[in-house]
Structure 1
Amino acid sequence: MNGWLLTAGITAIGVAAVHIAGGHRDVVRPLLSCGLAEEPKRVLHAVWHMVSVDLALSGLALLYLSLTDGTPGTGMVAWFVAGHFIAYAAAFLVVTLSVGWSRPLLRLPQWILLLPVAVLAAAGAA
């Protein structure tokens, strides 16, 4: 068993749970009740659900990989998931830092949840 990947998987499942619970309250409800046109509103709603599925499946994949450590391809898939979470964290950092807010790193703190999954998955892949 690969402890790094196990920890990454558990953390990723936690991130998915935070995304689903917190995101529904803080993002989805306000989005659905805002004055944005229906088509872009529904596209954003669908994208939110896509990310929910993606985060959950990534966590499950990491949990599976933790049990199959040493199997050919495990490291490659773990690196892929690590890169995936690094890209998500980077997207939040770029968007947050480009807005010009005061204390920007705390305004959209999602990167704080995403980056540990990337680091743990990379450690498990190495």
Structure 2
Amino acid sequence: MNAWFLTAGTTAGAVAAVHVIAGGRDVVRPLLEGNLPDEPRRVLHAVWHMVTADLILAAAVLIWLALGDRPGGETIAWLLAAHFVAYSGVFLALSLATNWSRPLLRLPQWMLLLPVAMLSAAGAA
């Protein structure tokens, strides 16, 4: 068993849960109740659900990798690590592009996503 992958998968599962619970309350509800035109609102709602599916699938794959020696497992893990680095980078870039005080804490998603990348990379190394 690869403990790094198991920890990465468990962390990704926790990130998915935070996404569903906190994101549903703090992002999706205000989005759906907002004044955006219907089409962009529905597209953003769909994208939120796509990210939910993505996080759950990534967690499942990492746990699957942890439970056995899988052909190509390291490659899959490196791709997932890059995937989570990219997600983190998007949130960091968007946070730093604002004029907010303490911008890294206003959009803290990168703090949840980056550990999954690091744990996946550690397991693949």
TM-score above 0.5, yes or no: yes
TM-score, normalised relative to structure 2: 0.98
- Is the contact between residue 68 and residue 74 of structure 1 (CA under 8 Å) also seen in structure 2? no
Number of residue pairs matched?
125
For residues 85-109 of structure 1, the C-alpha deviation after alignment (integer angstroms, 9 at most, x for no partner) is 0000000000000012110100000
Contiguous gaps of at least 5 residues in structure 2: none
Aligned to 1:73: 72
Q: Give the letter aligned to residue 93 of structure 2.
A: V
Moved over 3 A (4+): none
Superposition RMSD on alpha carbons, in Å? 0.6
- Is the contact between residue 78 and residue 124 of structure 1 (CA under 8 Å) also seen in structure 2? yes
Q: Give the letter aligned to residue 76 of structure 1.
A: T
Take 1:77 and 1:92, find their aligned partners in 2: how far apart are those partners? 23
Q: CA deviation at 1:72?
A: 2.1
Take 1:52 and 1:124, find their aligned partners in 2: how far apart are those partners? 24
Percent of aligned positions that are identical: 62
**5 Å matches for 1:29-108?**
29-69=29-69, 71-108=70-107
Take 1:54 and 1:21, find their aligned partners in 2: how far apart are those partners? 16
For residues 37-68 of structure 1, the C-alpha deviation after alignment (integer angstroms, 9 at most, x for no partner) is 00000000000000000000000000000112
Take 1:35 and 1:43, find their aligned partners in 2: how far apart are those partners? 14
- Is the contact between residue 82 and residue 122 of structure 1 (CA under 8 Å) also seen in structure 2? yes
